[in-house]
Structure 1
Amino acid sequence: MATKEDVMRVWKCADAVCFDVDSTVTQEEAIDELAKFCGRGYEVSAITKEAMRGNLNFKQALTRRLDIIQPSMSQLREFIRTRPSKLSPGIKSLVDVLHRKCIPVYLVSGGIRGIITPVALELGVPLQNVFANRLKFFLNGDYAGFDETEPTCNSGGKAEVIRRLKEKHGYSNLVLVGDGATDAEACPPADAFIGYGGNVVREEVRAKAKWYVSNFKELQDAL
């Protein structure tokens, strides 16, 4: 059974770090914010809470939320332009330190890739290191669903992404940092999981995490 000290040891010799995005790298749940922007906030936030507690099949929750919002291409672009995601305090500095140490950083999210792309650019994370869900649109720009071949649209999708990364690159000390049930359940195959509660504390995640932090400076100092 891993201890906090075991997790800290893996962190100090990490050869790759995967971050969840919503409520971890950024301060908000982007799908909830998009729903508010499109006038469907109340209906969608209730589903998000159930999904984050692990009480709903993730793909069903994603489908239900997006079917309620029905975001058009123009709405999505306007949302990204006018309501950019806010980075969590300390994340830019931490990612900069990891990059200086030549430790690859990945963003692995059940959210929307188009919203996460500007976040990756702000952090200097290569876009090929972003794993998230791609929306589809009809020729007139109306919402047409999402790419169901992306592993991140399924329950266990983050674990599948991590398994593929380890298989492709041979990582042996891959650390996952996140705030939700979908993050906690992805260890293994992640070699260590660090729970993050700087934006929202999910008690079931705090209970599972051997190392739980509320400030990214704690992770940076531990390096």
Structure 2
Amino acid sequence: MSTMFETKAILRSADAVCFDVDSTVIKEEGIDELAKFCGVGDAVAEMTRNAMGGNIPFKKALTERLAIIKPTRDQVNRLTNDQPPHITEGMMDLIVRLQQRNVQVFLISGGFRSIVEHVAARINIPLTNVYANILKFHLNGDYAGFDESQPTAESGGKGLVISLLKKERGFKKVVMIGDGVTDLEACPPADAFIGFGGNVVRQPIKEKAKWFVTSFQEITAELEDKK
């Protein structure tokens, strides 16, 4: 297992860095915001807490929460237009720094592609570097489920995406950054994991991450100091 020192060394030599989105790149939890927007915020927030705390399989938790929300295509579009998510402080500087170093940046989210693409566009990440769940709608725009074939719809999905990136794009060193258990569990196959507590501190992550930060500036500073 790597120490903080080794984690920092891997970051400095990484050819790809993957970010979780909810409570990491953005301050909100996308599914909870969508639930609030659709008028079922309390019921879904309670389920999110249970999903985070208990060992409910990710797909089951996602299915159950979406069955309560039943978001229409119009509601999802209005949410991103009317209440765009807030980008976490320091995120943009870190991405610029990584891109200056020719590091590929990816967003890997258990949230929804329609919302994550909106975030990616704002922080200058190509949509080909976005992995997230895809909501399905009937022709009239009503909710019709989600694409269960996406790796991000499964427990362990973020690790599957990272394995895929290594295989298909030939990355040698991949770093995962995030606030949750699904991010921690993606290492391995990620070569290093950085726990992020800038929006919410989850105790298991703080305890288990070899390097735990509460601001993106800490990561950017590590890249500034040494070549």
TM-score w.r.t. the length of structure 1 is 0.98
Distance apart, 1:42 and its partner CA: 0.7
The two structures, once aligned, show a CA RMSD in angstroms of 0.8
How many Å separate the matches in 1 of 2:102 and 2:53?
A: 34
Counterpart in 2 of 1:104? 104
- Please tell me the residue identity of whatever aligns with 1:138: H
- Bigger mean CA offset, 10-19 vs 164-173: 164-173
- Structure 2 gaps of 5+ residues are none
Alignment pair present for 1:176 and 2:176: yes
Counterpart in 2 of 1:142? 142
Q: Matched residues, percent identical?
A: 52
Q: Secondary structure at the match of 2:87?
A: coil
Counterpart in 2 of 1:92? 92
Q: Check conservation: 1:54, 1:181, Cα contact below 8 A.
A: no
Distance apart, 1:54 and its partner CA: 5.3
Alignment pair present for 1:205 and 2:205: yes
Alignment pair present for 1:122 and 2:122: yes
Q: Deviations over 1:169-209 (max 9, x none)?
A: 22121000000000000100000000000000000111110
Q: Deviations over 1:31-84 (max 9, x none)?
A: 101100111011111121222335211000000111100000111111111010
Q: Deviations over 1:102-143 (max 9, x none)?
A: 110000000000011111001110001000000000011100
How many Å separate the matches in 2 of 1:82 and 1:204?
A: 34
Counterpart in 1 of 2:217? 217
Structure 1 runs of 4+ with >2 Å offset: 50-55
Distance apart, 1:219 and its partner CA: 0.2
- Structure 1 gaps of 5+ residues are none
How many Å separate the matches in 2 of 1:109 and 1:133?
A: 7
Counterpart in 1 of 2:22? 22
**Paired residues for 1:65-80 under 5 Å:** 65-80=65-80
- Please tell me the residue identity of whatever aligns with 2:20: D
Counterpart in 1 of 2:43? 43
TM-score w.r.t. the length of structure 2 is 0.96
Counterpart in 2 of 1:167? 167
- Bigger mean CA offset, 192-201 vs 163-172: 163-172
Q: Check conservation: 1:54, 1:182, Cα contact below 8 A.
A: no
How many Å separate the matches in 2 of 1:215 and 1:191?
A: 21
- Please tell me the residue identity of whatever aligns with 1:8: K
Counterpart in 1 of 2:83? 83
Aligned length: 223
- Please tell me the residue identity of whatever aligns with 2:139: L
Q: Secondary structure at the match of 1:141?
A: coil
How many Å separate the matches in 2 of 1:9 and 1:52?
A: 30
Distance 1:75 1:17, change over 3 A: same
Q: Secondary structure at the match of 2:51?
A: helix
Q: Deviations over 1:5-41 (max 9, x none)?
A: 1111101111100000000000000110110011101
